[in-house]
Structure 1
């Protein structure tokens, strides 16, 4: 067993000022480790990076098709969105179609991260509601599954049929029994696994198009929906959205709170999972960009890449003071 290793470096002039340590794993479609940094057996909470796994029973149960969900709703079920109008309007319509409303959600209100939406609220002295929560799409998916299963309204309870289905899907995809859960920011249980387990699950998603079973078919639908609608998965200026666009919608990636990141790379039939130990977003974004460059699916010189990998650090006077760089050996 090893500890966390350097994944990203902060340079100020000629001085290495800070290091972001963590763990990263690349798996093939069979779940075997292709390469790893740090400890593949590190137990982690994948946070919102597990939303694709939580969305699997939405499809395999028949709930998605019974409710007539399209690719936009499937992308939102996997999303950590900005609370922009393109997100809130779609979630509102989804709930309307279910005969439900904002009060049926259990994710809690959240001020939008989308700047225009936030500024409009400030100008009009409006309070955010639960639909603005970055997880409202996931919760709309939970409600869709709960209605299909004829289960009760408290769908975030770990003993609820919805969460039991999510746990089963999570453990099947990771091929590990979860040691437990923490309560996520949106109040739903977030199940723990190892970093290898999450990378194995991403490898499963990445190779799902080679199989015809119902779970693999569901995985393909979710991955394709995310890649087709990157603006719904996160939002403008966000790494998930911009990097998926930079890879021509061929790769699905998803961040999670506390510096988690996963990637699904179908053309290589590989999955990536990484965790920066200090929970810092800049380190995770630099590291995931570096690994995508390493796999040859992201152009190292693309402007979107350069915002995260080898990104310049500019001070308040506009002077270049340093760079955020991937640790040596991460790219090649």
Structure 2
């Protein structure tokens, strides 16, 4: 029977080695689906229930499009994004709101400083305040607002699970991923669904191969504008840019990557850390020939601890539990 993830479901997936000595270990679960949808590999129990968090944003973007939100490709990509809040990201969100006569004050996500340090520094120098536009989910929220406007529904309660936009989001998620045993509240205030990691992987695989126009728009937009999905130099963006895989992180150690050939990897770390998720996902895709050697070795290097100091180079992420 499906139940929330706990330590008994988990395998050791990644360790941090410093000067050849194990310093930290990350436990979690992972699943790889082949092109026919059958499991190629599972680590731990992928039927355990998890909160995918922001990993489900592509499905929420499909819901906004189904509801009638009029979005260009950059805006669709931002609706799928957990972006780092650069001025370019903020400008796309602002343009979305402007198109229906709304403003940043209509967004019900938290006000935030950008994750991007250069933008944060510039905002500080210009005495600009924290902003809902800079919050990583602002594109998703703007998409919800455009959807509510298109339906002629109220915008003041657009995050209510009973709002027609959120009902459509739940419907899309059930169509692509399957049953949703529980719905809570995400950090941005939107509904946060629960599902098994296996269901999440199947959902992304269906997204990649779907013939639904809204799903095809989402996949195309993420590939056309990978910078909008996260930010230049960040793993999700670089994976999409280099391989064409649809990569989407979720808070608390969730990551999904669906390769162009539809081989799909989903990961959830028990401790909520994302430190080893990119390395693991890339290695699993490469193991099953879903990405080529050149892209794999380049992206693998990027996923290791970065820095110029001797101390930074002494630390290395290593995969455990399976031969790569």
Structure 1 and Structure 2 fold alike (TM over 0.5): yes
Q: How many residues align?
A: 315
CA distance in 2, matches of 1:313, 1:98: 42
CA distance in 1, matches of 2:281, 2:215: 21
**Is residue 2:234 matched to residue 1:241?**
no
Partner in structure 2 of residue 148 of structure 1: 150
**Is residue 2:222 matched to residue 1:226?**
yes
Pairwise mapping of residues 1-332 of structure 1 onto structure 2 (< 5 A)? 3-28=9-34, 31-61=37-67, 63-64=68-69, 67=70, 69-153=71-155, 154-175=157-178, 177-208=179-210, 212=211, 216-247=212-243, 250-266=244-260, 268-296=261-289, 297-299=291-293, 302-308=297-303, 311=304, 316-318=309-311, 320-329=313-322, 331=324
Question: Relative to 1, partners in 2 of residues 1:183 and 1:312: Cα closer, same or farther, differing over 3 Å?
Answer: closer
Q: Which SS does the other structure have where 1:323 is aligned?
A: strand
Question: Relative to 1, partners in 2 of residues 1:28 and 1:60: Cα closer, same or farther, differing over 3 Å?
Answer: farther
How much has 1:49 moved relative to structure 2? 0.3
TM-score by length of 1: 0.89
Q: Which SS does the other structure have where 1:34 is aligned?
A: strand
Q: Which SS does the other structure have where 1:119 is aligned?
A: helix
CA distance in 1, matches of 2:293, 2:223: 17
Q: Which SS does the other structure have where 2:81 is aligned?
A: coil
Partner in structure 1 of residue 5 of structure 2: none
User: Cα deviation per residue 1:188-247 (whole Å; 9 max; x = unaligned)?
Assistant: 011000001000101101222xxx4xxx33222111211221100000231101222232
8 Å contact from structure 2 (residues 64, 165) kept in 1: no
8 Å contact from structure 2 (residues 11, 321) kept in 1: no
CA distance in 2, matches of 1:56, 1:330: 37
8 Å contact from structure 1 (residues 298, 305) kept in 2: no
Question: Relative to 1, partners in 2 of residues 1:325 and 1:298: Cα closer, same or farther, differing over 3 Å?
Answer: farther
How much has 1:162 moved relative to structure 2? 0.9
TM-score by length of 2: 0.91
How much has 1:75 moved relative to structure 2? 0.4
Question: Relative to 1, partners in 2 of residues 1:29 and 1:151: Cα closer, same or farther, differing over 3 Å?
Answer: farther
CA distance in 1, matches of 2:246, 2:75: 16
Question: Relative to 1, partners in 2 of residues 1:265 and 1:330: Cα closer, same or farther, differing over 3 Å?
Answer: farther
